[in-house]
Structures are given as C-alpha cells and as structure tokens.
Amino acid sequence: MSIFAIVALSLNVVTGAAGIVSLATGAFFGLGAYTTAILCKAGYPSLAAQLAGVTIAAVLSIVIALPALRVRGVFLLLVTIAVQIIFTVIAQSWISVTGGDAGISRIPPYAPFGVPLRGVAFLIVCIVEAAIVYEFCRQLMRSPFGAVLRGLRDDETGSAALGKNVGAAKITAFAVSGAGAAFAGSLYAHYTAFVDPFSFDLSVSILMFLIVILGGAGTANGPLVGVLVLTLLPEIFKFLPLPPGVAAAARQLLYGVLLVAVMYFRPQGILSTAPGARPIGAIRT
Amino acid sequence: MRFHNRSVVRGWMPALLAVLAFLALPAWGQAPSGDARKLGIMLPLTGNSGKLGQIMLEGATVAIEQINASGGAGGRPLVLAVEDSQALSKPGIDGFRKLVDIERVDTIITGWTAVVVATAPLADESKTFLMSASTAAPALRNISPYFQSSWMFDDETIRLLLPYARNELKVQRLAIMPVVNDLGVGLAKSVRSEWQKLGSNVIAEESVQVTETNFRSILLKLFESKPDAIYITGNGKQSAQIIRQARDLGYKGVFLSYGAMEDPEMLTIGDRAERSFYSSPIYDPAAPTAQSKQFVDGFQKRFGRAPNVHQANHYDLVYIYKLAIDGLVKQGKPISGVNVRDYVAANMSRYEGAAGEYAFNFKDGSVLRSSVVKTVKDGKFVKVGDLN
Amino acid sequence: MLLGSILVDGLVTGCLYALVAVGFSLLWWLTGIIHIAHGAVYLIAGYTMFALAVSLGLPFAVAIAGATVVAVVGGAAIQQVIYRPFQRRAATEDAIITVSLGILIIVQYLLVIIFGPEGVSIDAGLRKPLLADGPRVLDRFSLIAVLGASVAIFGLHFLLRRTRLGKSMRAAAENDSLAEVLGLPIKRIQMIAHALAAAMVVPAAVLFLCDTGVHPPEALHLVLMAAVVAILGGKGSVLGALVGGVVVGIAESGMVFIVDAGWRQLITFTLLYVLLLLRPQGLFGTKAV
C-alpha cells in the first residue's frame, strides 16, 4: 500500500497541483518495475536498477511532454492515454526483453547496499521511502514552484502573461510524476517478484487517478487518504461469497462507481479545502 | 461537509499507518478446517478458456466423489480447494497465494502455460507440487522440480502430427498462424524445425495478438501463399473464430492444432469446423480396464453424458494424488509437497489410469502417452488415426 | 487482388468505426462533452440486440428496433441524469470526462458480472461471399456495413445542413449562450443530439454483434478509436467522421502487410500521438480548438 502511496503522491503533483489529467501513470509505474526486473535479474544491484528506472522514466517523461506543451485539455488526456497504451503494447510484444504476456518472474528481493530485504523489513523500508516522497512532494508544493503549478491549474494564460515559464513548469511536473511512479514501480517489482503487462495497464492509471481525486487533488495528505480508502474498500469483497471471476470485475465496478460518486458529491476530494466543483483543470472555456 | 481538518489528519495518520503495517504482515493463515484433506485445483473457470476448465473440473469432481465413497485419501475425506486462474498470470498468482497461504494445500492441479510460468517460481519457494494435464508449451520442460505434466509437451506431438499431415492428409504447403505468447512462439519453432526435417519449409507465417478477434486481413495475407494447411496455436475459442472467418472467406484447406482444440467452442461453428485436425492423447471410453470403467460409469451417472479425454486426465490426476497420500500415510511420512512429489516419482513412473497409460519423465516434467489424431465431424470430436 | 481485399475489409471496418465516431464527434461539437460513455451506449445496444434476437427469439427487425429504442433512451438518460447536474454546476471539462469514464466502467463491469466476460455474438451467416468466384470479402455483411453507414451519415449530414433542427444545432454549437438568449431550446437540442448519437451507434453494435461480437473490455478501445476518428475528421464534421473512419479502417487492415501483430497497435497509437501534436483539428476541422 505504501507503494501505491508513492505513485499517488507523485501523480498528485501533476494532476492535483498542476491540474493536468494524466492517464499514463501506469506506464511509468510499469517502466520502473520492468527496468528493475530486467536489470536485477541480470545481476545489477537493486539500488542501481531503481535509479536507472527513475532516470529513464524522468527522461522519457520529458521527451513525451516536450512536444505536448501546446496541447491542452482533452487532447493532452488522449496523449497520455496513447502513451499508456503504447507502453502496454511494447511490454506485450517485445518478448525478447519483456517476456511478453508471460512477464518476468523470480525477481530477487530488494537489496539496497547488498542486504536483501523481505517481509517486515521490506515493509518498513517502503514506508520510510514513502515518507521521504511525501515530504518531498509537500515541500515541492509549498515552494514557489508549487505556486506556479497551481497557477497553471487555475489560469494558464494568466500565468504565462505574468511571465512564469509555464512550459518548464509543466515538463518538470510530468518528470516528477513519472519519476515517482517509476520509483514505486521498482519496489513493486521486488514485492511481487513478478511483472507482466496487465499489471501496468490503463486500469492501473485509472485507479491512480481515482486515488488522487478521492483524497483531494492538490492537497498534501489527499493521496494518502485515497490510497487508504481504495486499498481497504475492495477487501470487503473477500468477505462476500462471490462466484469466481466476479470479484475482479466487482472491484473495477466499484472504481467506476467511485469515479462518478466523487465527482458528483465532492469533486474536490475528501481532504481538500479548495472551493467545491473546481477540483482539476482550468475554467471551462 | 468538511469533517477533517489538517491537524487531525496529521495526528492520526502515523498511528493509522502503523496499524496498517501490522495488518499487512502475512500471518493470516487459517487453521485447517475439520478432518478433510485439501487438494488445490486452479483452472480457468471464466473467460475464453472457461468452458474447457469447467469441463476438466468435472472430471476431478467425479474422482473426489468416488474416493470419498471408498474411504478417502489416507483414511480422511478429500476435498478440492478451487480457484479460477482465468488462464492469466496475475489471477494465477493470486489464486496460488490463496491456495498455499490460506488453504494450506501441498499440491495443486493446474494448467495453462501462462499460469504455470507465473506460479512455478512460487511453487519452488513454497515447495508445492504442481500437476498439470493442460500445459503444452515446450518451454515448460524443466521449469521447476515441482512441476509435472501428464499432458505431452506439444513439441513432441508436433513431431508426430506433421508426418501424418504430410502422408495422410497430403499436405505440401504449410503455413503457421501463431499467437504472440510463450506457447505460440514455442510451437511455431517446433513446427518450423519439424517440417524442415520432413523436407520442406513453412511457406508463410503470420502472428496474431492474444486478444485479436478480427483475423480477416491476416488470413487474406496468408491465403496469398495458397497453403494446404495452417497450424494454429490459440485456445479453443480463438481457434473457432479463426476457422469460422477463414471458412467464410472461402478457405478450403486443413487446420492443424494441438489438444486445446478439443474445446466446446469448436462445436459452435457448425460444419465449418470440419477438416481441422489435432493431436490428442488417446482416450477410449470403451476401454476395458477397471479404472476406466469405474470412471466412465461414475461420470455418466453424475453428469448424464459420456466423458472426454480432458475429464479422464483430471480424474487420473486426483487419483494419483490419492494414491500418493495413501502411500505416505502407510510409510508414516508427513504430507507435504516435497513428499508427494518424491513418492510419485519413486513409485509411479508408469501409471495406468482411466485415460490410458502414462510414462512419466520426472527429470524434466514431461510425459509420454499414446497419441491420436482427431477431428471434428457431425458436431463431435472423433479419432481418425493413431500417431504412435 | 490481395490489396483489393484488404482495402475492402478496411473500408468495412472503417464504416463501423465511423458510425461510432460520428455520434461522439457530434456530441463533442455541440455540447463540448467528451462522451466516453458513448461506449456504454454501444454496449447497451449490442447486449439488448442479443437479448431480444437470441434470448427472446424475436425477429431481427423487431430486435433492431427494440435495441434502438433502448439505446436512445439510455443515451438520453445519461444526458439528463448524469451530465445535466454537472452542467448546471458549471463543472470543469475534466470532471465531466471523469464521470463519463466512470459510467462506461460501471456499465462495462455490470455486464461482465451479469453475463460473463466473453461478450456476445450472433452467427447470422452474413459473412458468406456473395459471388462464388468473386472477391472473398464481398459478402452481405460488407454491403450492409458500407451502405448502411453511408446512408446514415449522409442522412445526418443532410439533417444538419438543410433542416431547421440542423440549423438550430449549428447555432447552438457555435455559441450556446447567445443561442439561448435568442430563444433556442438548448436543453432540447442537446437531448436530441444525444438521441441521434445513440441511434447512430446501434447499427454499428448490431454489425459488430454479427461479426466478431460485442465484448465489454473492448468498449473503451472502441471509444478511443472513435475519438481518433473524430479528431482526424474534425470535431463536428459528420462527413469528416466517415472519411476519418475509412482512413483508419484501411490503415489498420493495411498494416498487416507491413508489420507483425503486436506492433500494429503500437503504430496506431503512435500515429495518434503524432496527430494530436501536429494537427488536432483533423482533416476537416477549423483551427479554433
């Protein structure tokens, strides 16, 4: 769960603060996971693999975002969806590298500085790393940079007119979000010891998005609340006598219901102090 | 409706995290329930292969009933702990974890290449014995010391089927339409090399996505090379779709595949399914052995129809487990995945079951069985020839 | 001959995409809503058709009519019950997209839970070639698809250009506040647009049903393709949707020639990426995006 928290926190920077809806999170999450899987199995140390994943993700985020600077609103959303799907397709088809649909298994445990971590020890390290990311994002959003991002969300043209470098801000936000997701992805790969294309597809991106808006986009603690709710809520299904195969569909159904419900009743999320009905995105033109 | 403000959240947040950290510890095993022994079984029960998986489960169910009616396994009743793998890796892993961590099984009957590839490493770690009567990919050879198949790896069946195609079906121009996954890649490789050994090269090959439903353009491209036969590697439902679309486009040649073609989905496309040939372990419901009669009668009584090879296979797997348990109890050994596997390897390298004879090779997890060629005729799967 | 067959096959698929896209495009242009839930309407239409024609055994024509009614009601309901409250609150574009996506997910998984994940299909025998020696892809299905799509889309185009309703719609699309001030019944116009969009998707759903089937997990992908086609053809351009659909359909079919299975999807979405960057107004749209 702390792993998802990391992803949510970084997504929050882009979506919550800057108001850009990105559905490519799953792709970057997966990028970190696959990089770790491939490198660690080839014998590289975990931290190096993690760093590699984060760097690649950051670079790729910048590469993808750069041409998309002029693109606004729904078009940008479609761009991120395109990126997400491209990632899933590559993961499925580049069999020699990614193992295709069967994925990569037997990933060694997380071993920072050569010490393999399992069970409780791993959990503690994840929580610590999540706390670090949390603090980092919080500071980021309090900084002048954070203000620029919020300016982006509320009124992009205005910010540009005031001389803020809107483009650079957007790109940095994307890079942070991508890097954060990749960071979490590498932890995830160690945790499950198995990666495949379906763990990092569009539905994961949608889930991350839901987590962010549920908790309150743009707030520091929002993503945490979101992660809490969305990890615990589906556990209810374990107690219901559902026929096989229904449980997974029911969980997705729940996400759909929550998407509608959040937007309908409390679009700013549970924790946000922002005025209602204006959670993300610029004023409708 | 603001019911939290920041300081409250800040206060209970770390406490909550600590509580959740505690909850996340994987110490939630349930005590084994009652007297019964549990045998794990994880097959696709929903999804594209769902119908086939359910059929297989039926075979296992008959075995359970008969075993319990005659004293159980090692003196205790035997029950199945059932999980749905959907033939996918992720649900397979989830199902595996549930069976091993919560239900505490020592052996799982499972199948489908993707699922086994994903769960074999886990089986290594937890020392769970995996048995399968529904995995075909040559890549599974040697995948784990805890994996044993009772279904022939299909590189071997290809070796048997292709000469039949060449000699009996008079196939000269062979094309392949593999699915982009481990199984497809492995089978395509076997087809290519075996056909080459018979003196010609595969004339065309077009790969297909797992989730593809519209094969028309791919088929059109293949037809340009005028193949007499096309080897397809998908599951029954996908094969049925491909054949349906190909026949509608006017393809008159033959289709070749492996045992997964014996899937109820193939019977939904009418007479288009004819002239499709696949290899399968021999199964004759009228075989005179005692085990076979017992199975066929029991199945007929329970389900009101005759069983097929898949059901017989899974019946046999359950019985193999029961016999291993009986043996271990007699030897006074504890029941565990390792012991079950060792017992089977030591005592059952040749096994005579309801589905015929098995010659197991425990070194690499493979098996040899008599194989036949079958086809679809008049809405039924019928045998047309022997392969070995 | 192969090229011809592939072109025809692509044309047919493209017409189906166009039917789905035109409703999407129309709603986007008129109401500014990215109607992801259009996929939900498609699913509802397909499953209703199946239920009526197969489970209840009704004759085809009756079933199609029934499916149309249900789809139109569904589309209008989404507008009335879901979108209207948001519009009244001046909700952001992103909020409405999110809700739309939520609706699609809900419908998709409800269908999966009730009917199973395999989808439904009808074997209506439409795919047998008409001429024994002629091109293989020339079958009843192809004819119905191409003719049907053309008639429907040209009809819609005519509606928009020549009728009073069409003129009202165009006015509303250009400037809805002004139009409202001038007395146009904006709410009713939007409702009619939703009904039209839903009606347009019904033939596509029926055709898909008779061919490869209607599968809930494919709904989102289909909406994405519709979005691609709508963007390619230009927001609001009905004819553009037809042209865009055909282009995309042929491109998809043609790629079999050049590229292996997995990479085809890759190319489609890379092209989408490029398209969004370079020419978001598509082939027929104006620059005001």
Provide the 3-class DSSP secondary structure of residue C28: helix
ipTM of the complex: 0.78
Tens digits of residue pLDDT in B135-164: 888 888 888 889 998 888 888 888 888 988
Q: Which residues of C touch A206 (CB under 8 A)?
A: 101, 105
Residues in B whose CB is inside 8 Å of some CB of A read: 1-2, 4, 6, 9-10, 13, 16-17, 20-21, 24-26, 45-47, 50, 82-84, 86, 88-91, 93, 113-114, 117-118, 120-122, 180-182, 185, 209-210
Q: Is B241 close to C212, i.e. CB distance below 8 A?
A: yes
Assign A20 a pLDDT band (cuts: 50, 70, 90): low
Q: What is the phi/psi pair of residue C119, to 5°?
A: 80, 175
Higher pLDDT, B231 or C119: B231
Helix spans in B216-336 (H): 216-223, 236-248, 290-303, 309-331
Q: Which residues of C touch B217 (CB under 8 A)?
A: 6, 9-10, 252-254, 256
Compute the distance between CA of residue A272 and CA of residue A276 in angstroms, rounded to an integer: 9
Q: Is B213 close to C9, i.e. CB distance below 8 A?
A: no
Q: Is A198 close to B89, i.e. CB distance below 8 A?
A: yes
Whether the per-residue pLDDT at C51 is higher than 50: the answer is yes
Whether A123 contacts chain C with CB within 8 A:
no
Q: Which subunits sit against A, judged by 3+ Cβ pairs under 8 A?
A: B, C
Contact C96, C38 (CB under 8 A): no
Q: What is the phi/psi pair of residue C38, to 5°?
A: -55, -35
Compute the distance between CA of residue B134 and CA of residue B136 in angstroms, rounded to an integer: 7
- Among A16-20, B185-189, B193-197, whose mean pLDDT is lowest? A16-20
Whether A63 contacts chain C with CB within 8 A:
no
Sign of CA dihedral B1, B6, B8, B10: positive
Q: For residue B18, what pLDDT is reported?
A: 46
Structure tokens given for B330: 């007699």
Whether C4 contacts chain B with CB within 8 A:
no
What radius of gyration, in Å, describes the C-alpha atoms of chain B? 23
For residue B53, the distance in angstroms to the closest alpha carbon of chain A comes to: 12
Tens digits of residue pLDDT in A187-216: 888 777 778 887 788 888 888 888 777 776
Q: For residue B117, what pLDDT is reported?
A: 85
Q: What mean pLDDT comes out for the span A118-124?
A: 71
Whether the per-residue pLDDT at B349 is higher than 70: the answer is yes
Whether the per-residue pLDDT at B198 is higher than 70: the answer is yes
Q: Which residues of A touch C102 (CB under 8 A)?
A: 256-260, 263
Q: Which of C273, C279, C281 to mutate to test the interface with A (most CBs of A within 10 A)?
A: C273
Q: From residue A210, give the alpha-carbon distance in Å to each of A12, A257, C95.
A: 11, 11, 12
Q: Is B207 close to C116, i.e. CB distance below 8 A?
A: no
Q: Which residues of B touch A193 (CB under 8 A)?
A: 121-122
Q: What is the phi/psi pair of residue B357, to 5°?
A: -95, 140
Q: Is C261 close to B208, i.e. CB distance below 8 A?
A: yes
Q: Which subunits sit against C, judged by 3+ Cβ pairs under 8 A?
A: A, B
Compute the distance between CA of residue C236 and CA of residue C25 in angstroms, rounded to an integer: 5
Assign C277 a pLDDT band (cuts: 50, 70, 90): confident
Query: Least CB-CB distance to B118: which of A1, A105, A245?
Result: A105
Compute the distance between CA of residue C220 and CA of residue C228 in angstroms, rounded to an integer: 12
What does DSSP say about strands B356-361 and B350-353: parallel, antiparallel, or unpaired? Answer: antiparallel
- Among B16-20, B161-165, B166-170, C46-50, whose mean pLDDT is lowest? B16-20
Q: Is C253 close to B217, i.e. CB distance below 8 A?
A: yes
Whether the per-residue pLDDT at B205 is higher than 50: the answer is yes
Q: What mean pLDDT comes out for the span A56-76?
A: 76
> Which burial class, exposed, middle or buried, applies to C182 when counting CB atoms under 10 A from its CB (0-12, 13-18, 19+)?
exposed
Q: For residue B107, what pLDDT is reported?
A: 92
Q: For residue A18, what pLDDT is reported?
A: 52
Q: Which residues of C touch A283 (CB under 8 A)?
A: 92
Whether the per-residue pLDDT at A142 is higher than 80: the answer is no
Q: Which of A93, A125, A132, A194 to mutate to test the interface with B (most CBs of B within 10 A)?
A: A194
Closest to B148 in 3D by CA, of B370, B388, B338, B353 = B338
Q: Which residues of C touch B209 (CB under 8 A)?
A: 261-262, 265
Single-letter amino acid code for the residue at C57: G
Q: For residue A280, what pLDDT is reported?
A: 45
For residue A139, the distance in angstroms to the closest alpha carbon of chain B comes to: 15
Residue of B nearest to A125 (CA): B21
Q: Which of A253, A255, A266, A278 to mutate to test the interface with C (most CBs of C within 10 A)?
A: A253
- Give residue limits of the domains in chain A: 2-202
CATH topology of domain C2-278: ABC transporter involved in vitamin B12 uptake, BtuC (1.10.3470)
Q: What is the phi/psi pair of residue C277, to 5°?
A: -75, -40
Residue of C nearest to B179 (CA): C261
Contact C63, C222 (CB under 8 A): no
Residue of B nearest to C254 (CA): B217
Q: For residue A206, what pLDDT is reported?
A: 83
Q: Which of A66, A85, A203, A204 to mutate to test the interface with C (most CBs of C within 10 A)?
A: A85
Tens digits of residue pLDDT in B317-337: 999 999 898 888 888 888 888
Whether A283 contacts chain C with CB within 8 A:
yes
Whether C133 contacts chain B with CB within 8 A:
no
Contact B337, B171 (CB under 8 A): no
Q: Is A256 close to C289, i.e. CB distance below 8 A?
A: no
What's the CA angle centered on C153, arms C150 and C155, to 5 degrees?
A: 100
Q: Which subunits sit against B, judged by 3+ Cβ pairs under 8 A?
A: A, C
> Which burial class, exposed, middle or buried, applies to A222 when counting CB atoms under 10 A from its CB (0-12, 13-18, 19+)?
buried
Compute the distance between CA of residue A266 and CA of residue A272 in angstroms, rounded to an integer: 9
Assign B27 a pLDDT band (cuts: 50, 70, 90): very low
Q: Is C136 close to B249, i.e. CB distance below 8 A?
A: yes
Whether the per-residue pLDDT at A109 is higher than 90: the answer is no
Residue B342's H or E segment, with its range, is helix B337-347
Q: Is A271 close to B9, i.e. CB distance below 8 A?
A: yes
- Among A280-284, B21-25, B303-307, C170-174, whose mean pLDDT is lowest? A280-284
Q: Is C92 close to A278, i.e. CB distance below 8 A?
A: yes
Single-letter amino acid code for the residue at C91: A
Tens digits of residue pLDDT in C10-41: 888 889 999 999 988 888 888 878 888 899 99
Burial C57-96 (b: 16+ CB within 10 A, else e): ebeeeebbebbbebbbebbbebbeebbeebbeeebbbbbb
C 100-119 near B (Cβ less than 8 A): 116-118
Assign B284 a pLDDT band (cuts: 50, 70, 90): confident
Q: For residue A6, what pLDDT is reported?
A: 64
- Among B67-71, B304-308, C78-82, C87-91, whose mean pLDDT is lowest? C87-91
Whether the per-residue pLDDT at A79 is higher than 70: the answer is yes
Whether the per-residue pLDDT at B129 is higher than 80: the answer is yes
Q: Is C99 close to A279, i.e. CB distance below 8 A?
A: no
Compute the distance between CA of residue B318 and CA of residue B305 in angstroms, rounded to an integer: 20
Query: Least CB-CB distance to B13: which of A95, A224, A270?
Result: A224
For residue B180, the distance in angstroms to the closest alpha carbon of chain C comes to: 8
Structure tokens given for C241: 């949707």
Compute the distance between CA of residue C253 and CA of residue C247 in angstroms, rounded to an integer: 10
- Going through chain C in order, the beta strands assigned E by DSSP cover none
Q: For residue B274, what pLDDT is reported?
A: 87
Mean pLDDT of chain C: 81
Q: For residue C42, what pLDDT is reported?
A: 92
Query: Least CB-CB distance to A221: which of B9, B45, B210?
Result: B9
Q: Which residues of B touch C260 (CB under 8 A)?
A: 180, 207
What does DSSP say about strands B380-386 and B129-132: parallel, antiparallel, or unpaired? Answer: unpaired
Which residue, chain included where needed, has tokens 């886990």? B122
Biggest CA-to-CA distance, chain A: 59
Q: Is C85 close to A68, i.e. CB distance below 8 A?
A: no
Q: For residue C128, what pLDDT is reported?
A: 64
Which residues, in sequence order, are bridge partners of residue B73? B76
Higher pLDDT, A144 or B360: B360
Q: Which residues of B touch A198 (CB under 8 A)?
A: 88-90
Tens digits of residue pLDDT in C200-209: 899 888 888 8
Q: For residue A239, what pLDDT is reported?
A: 64
Whether the per-residue pLDDT at A156 is higher than 70: the answer is no
Biggest CA-to-CA distance, chain B: 82
Residue A47, CB-side half-sphere exposure with 13 Å CA sphere: 9
Number of residues in chain B: 388
Give, as one character, the DSSP assignment of residue A220.
S
Compute the distance between CA of residue B151 and CA of residue C156 in angstroms, rounded to an integer: 58
Q: For residue B4, what pLDDT is reported?
A: 39
Compute the distance between CA of residue B344 and CA of residue B342 in angstroms, rounded to an integer: 5
Mean pLDDT of chain B: 83
What's the CA angle centered on C69, arms C68 and C75, to 5 degrees?
A: 85
Mean pLDDT of chain A: 72
What's the CA angle centered on C3, arms B233 and B172, to 5 degrees?
A: 45
Q: Is B45 close to A245, i.e. CB distance below 8 A?
A: yes
Tens digits of residue pLDDT in C154-190: 888 888 888 888 888 887 777 767 777 777 777 888 8
Q: For residue A136, count other CB atoms closer than 10 A to its CB.
A: 15
Residue C23's contacts (CB-CB under 8 Å, 6 or more residues apart) are C35, C38, C41, C196, C197, C198, C199, C200, C201
Q: What is the 3-state secondary structure (H, E, C) of C51-89?
A: HHHHHCCCCHHHHHHHHHHHHHHHHHHHHHHHHHHHHHC
Q: Which residues of B touch C123 (CB under 8 A)?
A: 244, 268-270
Assign B128 a pLDDT band (cuts: 50, 70, 90): very high
Compute the distance between CA of residue B301 and CA of residue B160 in angstroms, rounded to an integer: 35
Q: Which residues of B touch C11 (CB under 8 A)?
A: none
Which residues, in sequence order, are bridge partners of residue B137? none
Contact B243, B255 (CB under 8 A): yes
Q: For residue C136, what pLDDT is reported?
A: 65
Q: Is A198 close to B25, i.e. CB distance below 8 A?
A: no
Q: For residue A27, what pLDDT is reported?
A: 76
Q: Is C265 close to B268, i.e. CB distance below 8 A?
A: no
Burial B161-182 (b: 16+ CB within 10 A, else e): bbebbbeebebebbbbbbbbbb
Q: For residue C285, what pLDDT is reported?
A: 55
